[in-house]
Amino acid sequence: MMRSMVVRVSAAVGVAVLGVSLAAAQNLVDNGDFDTDVGGWTQLSGGITLSWDGTSDYQGQPASGSAMILNSASGQSNSGVTQCIEGIIGSESYELSAWLKAPTGQSADGNARVFMWWYTGPGCTGTQSLGPTTPFFNTSDDWVLQEAAGVQAPLESQSATVYLNVAKTSEVPGEYMVSFDHVSLIGKSLERVLSFIPAAGLAPGDAGSFWVTDLEVNNPNNETMTYELWWLPRGEDNSEPMRSELFTLNAEESRRHRNVLGEVFGLDPDDAPFGALAIASDREGTLAMARVFNQPLSDGVGTFGQAIPGVPAKSMIRQNERLRILFMSEDDELRANIGCQNGTAANLRVMIELFDASGQSYGLETLDLPPYSNNQINRIFRDWAPISGYVDVWSTTSRASFYCYGSVLDNISSDPTTVLPQ
């Protein structure tokens, strides 16, 4: 029912690090250093020979070696060796690099590079899409670092193939040889700024209402920005939220996601989708505006709702900071709800003290919020109706960062009014 969702709320913006399981500086390539052999790599056809060279190492270490790939095809040929990488995390950033050496004076011309393919399934299966590629490398008697940094995997990626590619570029007979060492694919956990829309929905409500959420994201920076959206179901632990595809905005550009829960996340009213949204951006200062509106089932009625502007990170409520939410009413005409959004990846308790208009306390309510969770207390003054009053909200949880709001709704139309904390 509609009063289980606050439909006019404020958006709170807080700084957080995107929670992923990428280990810092962990090389996902097996045997990329070629210390003792070339195990773990698959040799492709096309005149390619893979061997281990124990006399050459990019750091000059005598106890190590490198991989030597020889292309001896009779004419032009493009081939190499591969390795399938498991455990890719969609939408995260990866750095691909390798050290290459191709001696001058070889009998054939050629080039080399390292590149990747992403796959939507495990074991390098499913839909394939091209990944990062290092620049073409021709000849050098010294080791040269080739790299492609800061490349993000497509959202549904689960695995990837790394290619060490050696090509002959002329028809003349001869061989072209390239040595590879310290091949690495390193996952880099992106620090993303989170902005929260603490209430959103796509479902029927009271008085013949039907609620829809539109969201607009704006990049106020002078550089390109990427972001993804998180769906944060109400009352759930959202440590691993449902995440959207990765969106890109050019400098000063906006994108509007109409019916964001349906069009971006594929939810429908049968999913009872009431909860919150987060915008995870790779830039500070990202602007977000949502409109949660009633689209009544009756024809010709039109819509009503409210735009929900983003609030700066400094406006998140911190540990032991006590704020007040006014205009709480419970009577024949109006009802009042209180909702809160946890802006951290830890459990958090919010304290809510109720007062009437004279300042008399009516006791405490609490909301226990799991990571990135949200919830609300509906008709918080029901037991004392008719009444007008206010509430104070705070948290004693260590390093708390949260946001609370009030919503006063008309009992006939469910027309809501947002009340911000002060």
Quote the percentage of the chain above a pLDDT of 90: 63
* Higher pLDDT pick, 137 / 269: 137
Quick one: pLDDT at residue 16?
A: 44
Residue 83, beta-bridge partner list: 162
**pTM tops 0.75:** no
Domains of the chain (ranges plus CATH)? 2-20+191-419 (no CATH), 42-188 (2.60.120.260)
* Higher pLDDT pick, 295 / 191: 295
Residue 233, beta-bridge partner list: 275
Quick one: pLDDT at residue 21?
A: 35
Omega before 269 cis (within 30°)? Answer: no
Top mean pLDDT of 80-84, 245-249, 401-405 is at 80-84
Quick one: pLDDT at residue 26?
A: 77
Which residues, at least 6 apart from 96, have a Cβ–Cβ distance to it below 8 Å?
A: 114, 115, 116, 131, 132, 134, 147, 148, 149, 151, 162, 184, 185
Is residue 314 scored above 80 in pLDDT? no
Quick one: pLDDT at residue 42?
A: 96
Instruction: Please give the average per-residue pLDDT across 33-39, as a whole number.
Output: 96
Quote the percentage of the chain above a pLDDT of 70: 90
Residue among 38, 48, 167 nearest 102 (CA): 167
Q: Count CA atoms within 13 Å of residue 46 on its CB side.
A: 16
**CA of 154: how far to CAs of 171, 194, 243, 375, 405, in Å?**
37, 20, 12, 32, 36
Instruction: Please give the average per-residue pLDDT across 80-85, as a whole number.
Output: 97
Using one digit for the tens of pLDDT, what is the confidence trace for 40-79? 999 998 899 999 999 999 999 988 999 999 999 988 999 9
Quick one: pLDDT at residue 187?
A: 84
How big is the CA angle at 330 (ends 328 and 333), to the nearest 5 degrees? 110
| Pairwise CA distance, residues 371 & 159, whole Å | 28
Is residue 387 a contact partner of residue 381, using CB atoms and an 8 Å limit?
A: yes
| Residue 373 tokens, joined | 């969770």
Q: Is 379 helix (H, G, I), strand (E, B) or coil?
A: coil
Q: Which of 7-11, 257-261, 278-282, 391-395 has the lowest mean pLDDT?
A: 7-11
Quick one: pLDDT at residue 68?
A: 97
Quick one: pLDDT at residue 10?
A: 30
Tell me the pLDDT band of 191, cut-offs 50, 70 and 90: low
Instruction: Please give the average per-residue pLDDT across 212-220, as a whole number.
Output: 95
Using one digit for the tens of pLDDT, what is the confidence trace for 227-253? 899 999 999 999 889 989 889 999 999
Instruction: Please give the average per-residue pLDDT across 195-207, as a whole number.
Output: 82
Is residue 17 a contact partner of residue 189, using CB atoms and an 8 Å limit?
A: yes
Instruction: Please give the average per-residue pLDDT across 378-385, as a whole number.
Output: 95
Instruction: Please give the average per-residue pLDDT across 11-21, as a whole number.
Output: 37
Quick one: pLDDT at residue 308?
A: 74
- From the CB of residue 374, how many other CB atoms can be counted at a distance below 10 Å? 32
Instruction: Please give the average per-residue pLDDT across 360-382, as a whole number.
Output: 96
Using one digit for the tens of pLDDT, what is the confidence trace for 286-310? 999 999 887 766 666 677 777 777 7
| Mean pLDDT taken over the chain | 87
Is residue 410 scored above 60 in pLDDT? yes
